[in-house]
A and B are shown apart, each in its own frame.
Chain A
């Protein structure tokens, strides 16, 4: 049934319907609404789950690692500094092969303080071994959260469902929420690969010396390599039941496009509008939406971009000294392909600054009018400011 829901509530409804058994979280804007709803559900009995209060995000994820080792379905949500504080435990979760699902609501990292949308928080955790799926709107957030449990438990890797502060988290949209029975058909009870047992005790993650550490890591890498295929399987099952499908990437009008814009998250929605306008004007433009970032779907990206002459990667994130993070990954994916397009990079919307259709159109024009891309990302829409320091 369609309901008008805040993006955060869409996540919470998915977690409820997924019959999660242990939830732990530490509040942080703009994520807090997710776990506020869930804690209500746990307290009222609407969910049969344990809600663990913790004193930090580090403990939060540590607690879930313990719970997941006990063989139960687990969930947490965080943002920005909270995610940064989890950093060590992010590695630990993936290394333990525990299918924990997290909603990560993009928010800029300090300093200075900023609570608005910016992908640098989740992207700076790209090497932690978590699957990362970026979402565009409330419905996708709901669907992806459900899919995340199915995917995580299939490949035994944790999944980060990435949404955006305020633009998704606090925005009300119609979201189709299925009945519990329908969700149960899609998502069976969790059948853990291993489960600690006090009657037959064993130690998980005991020391692994050089003679075996590498093999454990390789097994992990192989599971990650399998993800695009398994995600496709999950989506097929999902589509049968719910008639919706997203893809690891979504290529729109890319087959005949000369210039393709590469976007992720909510900027994609704005780009869709621009695309229609430009196509109406006869521009040969395409759009590639990146949903899956880890593992990076190299095959799908290269296939979508292969006929373009120019690619404009638009990043609402920034790796200082290296530019936009999607830009780096797209360039890396293409670098060994023949007839690869020129790849332009643009930094927009950091710290929640609005990215309008006009901004995207400027980027399109700049790309069209430039012969050679800059090595670095180009910053769009910078204002002239006088620094207050020293006054």
Chain B
């Protein structure tokens, strides 16, 4: 097989192929392409496929990225603005430089799709015979209708108020969520054939009627009523409902808030009420019984409120209210921190008998909310009631199944959880109708993203996402040699003088260039992005690529199992395992 080269040097040269030497027989560990779960997706209540979304966005495939969001979340324009983005706080990139600005990218993709008037053709399952009634057009009901439509169920939404959106329409000010954004998302849901019946309040009689005429009823009525403070002298006139104030402001009214108002509470509603008051020309102070760092409201929103002139008083709790010379006198007890609560926040106790009196013009309560009607809430555990993480199914003789969702079933109450609730309820109902009650739990478990409880509709529908390993990628599993420190995109904002006198949206859009750059920072934890490191590094040319990701594979006839491919994979999309894999 060796040929002497005449007068030339005698070198071992062969024209025979080396393919006869199947070095794969040397192998005792085996590389395997295996997409995994990213912490952001598992942290997202809606289970968005964030690593994939950013990968597509980085490649400039904005439409495909947007569609990837819509497969798990019908409200990207809303969530890109008002979601508390738990995805970012678990982003592996935080241990490297700073987390990906997932919310800014989500908003960019949603706005870009609306700006380009993108439409998308959904592969929907064949139409089912069961018609579903959805009560409440808040985020849970909208999500339920969207996913039910995908699964082939015709559905009608019944909404008491003149427009759909629920808390998104009536409880979040325009400067955080412009009306046009919400309307375009609702329009997209209606385009799937969902019938929106507004000004259509369901009372208990009509509810029974719906249970007879529909195959199932979803109740996602949310927390429409603010809870009272429960203090001496409190009347609906002396202590106004903060949520009601926001609702009236969004209906175009200019509710009374002249002079000096105090807002009791520490959540986003309290901050929004105070900021709305300043925009109407009033002065406002937020009174909170704990400290600023304990407030459930977004830190950024609190900071902006203070910039806009809102005052904040910590460690005060209202105890009584009375009229005083045509104004209001609020009696407050001072609080102090003593030890810790179970959740790690400082435990508050009365600071002796210390009190403080405030004479003001208006008091708004924003300390929590409840269902408008008691029967909106899910029944307690009993025969015929099945509880899930984000919904409750009631099966009883004499009526169609009722499924409860939204804030009234969710432990955490926010938009993303409401969307998760609608999605889970859609899956529960579909499995119930298609396969029977016994299959529900196992089917839900098969769609869990990472360690849950987020669920993936793509996985439920048998998409490729369902084939991923359940392993949640850790920071240490990323090969950070392939990444460089890069600054996280900063979302531009209206200047304080421009925003405090108007309801214009504060957060401004990022450019496509910034979006591409920000998406490029993403580790795409556990997802192959065809970077070809495995192909380049394989010393046996045993990585075979043939155009698309499904066809990328290892030629095990020659792979010696050296593991270089797995080590050099930046994203932990390759693993080494025993031969049994």
Contacts and interface: CB of A to CB of B under 8 A. Distances in A.
A156 B1 CA distance: 22
B13 to A, nearest CB: 5
B14 A216 contact: no
A201 B18 CA distance: 11
Nearest to B2: A212
Given A206-B1, A206-B2, A194 B8 contact: yes
Residue from B8, B9, B13 whose CB has the most chain A CB atoms within 10 Å: B9
Interface string A154-177: 001000000000000000000000
Contacts, number: 53
Interface string A24-63: 0000000000000000000000000000000000000000
A203 B5 contact: no
A207 to B, nearest CB: 7
A215 B10 contact: yes
A193 B2 contact: no
Nearest to A69: B11
A206 B10 contact: no
B15 interface: yes
B12 interface: yes
A156 B10 CA distance: 10
Contact of A97 (B1, B2, B11, B14): B11
Nearest to A211: B2
Contacts of B1: 206
Nearest to B11: A97
B10 A202 contact: no
A193 B12 contact: no
Report the interface size class on chain A: 20 to 34
B12 A205 contact: yes
B9 A206 contact: no
Given A203-B18, A206-B18, A193 B5 contact: yes
B9 A97 contact: yes
Interface string A180-208: 00000000000001100000111111111
Contacts of B13: 194, 202-206
B5 A206 contact: no
B273 to A, nearest CB: 61
A96 interface: yes
A212 to B, nearest CB: 6
A156 B18 CA distance: 26
A82 to B, nearest CB: 24
Given A193-B11, A194-B5, A203-B15, 19 more contacts: A97-B11, A156-B8, A156-B9, A193-B9, A194-B13, A203-B18, A204-B11, A205-B11, A205-B13, A206-B14, A208-B2, A208-B12, A212-B12, A216-B2, A216-B10, A216-B11, A219-B10, A220-B9, A223-B9
Contacts of A216: 2, 10-12
Nearest to A208: B12
A185 to B, nearest CB: 25
A201 to B, nearest CB: 8
Interface string B4-39: 010011111111101000000000000000000000
Nearest to B7: A193
A37 to B, nearest CB: 30
Contacts of A220: 9-10
A110 B557 CA distance: 44
5 contacts: A156-B8, A194-B5, A204-B13, A205-B12, A206-B14
A208 B15 CA distance: 14
Nearest to B8: A193
A206 B11 CA distance: 9
Interface in A59-109: 96-97
A208 B18 CA distance: 13
